[in-house]
Structure 1
């Protein structure tokens, strides 16, 4: 399956499975972290004027959040749509993609979640067909397993890892060369080969452009903007069952703009 933008499910033997309570807390922690990262990227990359952001604190760090209700609502809806796909185990990577006014890719802020734990117990088949969220009695029935797994997550370590990542992302974003005026952004997900496209109404996801389609069984050659012209690693987060990697790719179009500016 290729990339989608906002508009193989993980093999259990390759993933650490965690019970519902732990999975829910980990997933909530990650989606809150992703929301903070998106707002910070928009601030440090000057997608919107700095005066439209307020400064608050997260992970004992100063962070920035857009004050515009429509921007906040869009980001919240986009992260919720990502979360729904994470629960299904369909996501390989998450990207915050920045375009210039001519829809050329300037930067891709990447979050590789291919090694996320299996979200055991989030969905079970209901009688009569269709998934349902796990209920309290189901969780209690798994009490022994849940109690045994309770010690697997060191929440202080999780927060410290996420804190360090937010700090590294902010530092990298602040030090990168300026973007041209009029840039826009979107949130995209790269699905696993076996992942099914999220099709429903209203449709929050649309296929991304061919230049951002990843390599797959049906598409052996990745799009020209995959990987970019320059890649800067940010951080690998490893905290108990939570494992993901972050980096930023600077697009070929951005490199060309920088070269033109230098020669003038």
Structure 2
């Protein structure tokens, strides 16, 4: 029996208030991860980051207001899709100056439940919404029950701390990236998930080379999986389960093309 199968059988319902805490804990963790990936991979100069603490570890955060705002908006958009239960994986994708994929920092959240009991796309249900929530009470794997003790928060914090430590170590030890790299945040949807369309439009379709295998696309893009994959950690703390790894793109092993012209 795989760890995924064992987790699925052992998973127990938890109260909505704890489900809310889990979702917030994960999105905060994702935010810290993004900032630290940008620091350790030198996407921006190190002097543009400040050092703080999270999970009892030193972490880094961009000081640039526009970078912080962009990351905050991106994570909010990711959270809106997590609430719907349509996300398979989250990726922090790093490109070189020629838009070639250098690295993909992956967070597999396929085992996350859907927070169907929460109202709104980007926010969580409040206590006042309980009686009037359309469709009544239940989200998958979560129950509207005041019972406490379903989640061991010490285990959750310890798992997130260990994952952050592995991410920092991997980021420090990997070879340098070329100058002029950029990044973006991507979500890979489940087959049954509908593309997030709305106004303003927070998401755009990814390039063909990063399209995953699906019913409509039997052949995955050439940059899916990369040339080398380094596992980081599988987090299993009660109902919170996800896996992390980093994929190094094939283009990372190739020299950048040089164009020249003659007068």
TM-score bin, normalised by smaller chain: 0.7 to 0.9
TM-score for the superposition, normalised by structure 1: 0.85
**Which residue does the alignment assign to 1:257?**
255
* One of 219, 222, 235 as aligned partner of 2:220: 222
Change (3 A) 1:87 1:145: closer
| Secondary structure of the structure 2 residue equivalent to 1:193 | coil
**Which residue does the alignment assign to 1:47?**
43
- The answer to whether the 8 A contact 2:87-2:187 is kept is yes
Q: What's the C-alpha RMSD, in Å, of the aligned pairs?
A: 2.5
| Secondary structure of the structure 1 residue equivalent to 2:255 | helix
**1:198-213 to 2 correspondences below 5 Å:** 198-213=196-211
Which structure features the higher share of strand residues? Answer: 1
Q: Is 1:24 aligned to residue 20 of structure 2?
A: yes
Post-superposition, which runs of at least 4 consecutive aligned residues in structure 1 deviate over 4 A? 12-17, 130-133, 137-142
**Which residue does the alignment assign to 1:93?**
89
- The answer to whether the 8 A contact 2:11-2:238 is kept is no
**Which residue does the alignment assign to 2:3?**
none
**Which residue does the alignment assign to 1:109?**
105
Unaligned runs of 5+ in 1: 1-11, 125-129, 259-264
Change (3 A) 1:77 1:132: closer
Q: Is 1:136 aligned to residue 135 of structure 2?
A: no
Residue by residue over 1:232-256, the C-alpha shift from the partner in whole angstroms, topping out at 9 and shown as x without a partner, is 0000000000000000000000022
Which structure features the higher share of helix residues? Answer: 1
**Which residue does the alignment assign to 1:84?**
80
- The answer to whether the 8 A contact 1:108-1:250 is kept is yes
With CA pairs under 8 Å and 6+ residues apart, which has the higher RCO, 1 or 2?
Answer: 1
- The answer to whether the 8 A contact 1:17-1:119 is kept is no
**1:167-206 to 2 correspondences below 5 Å:** 167-206=165-204
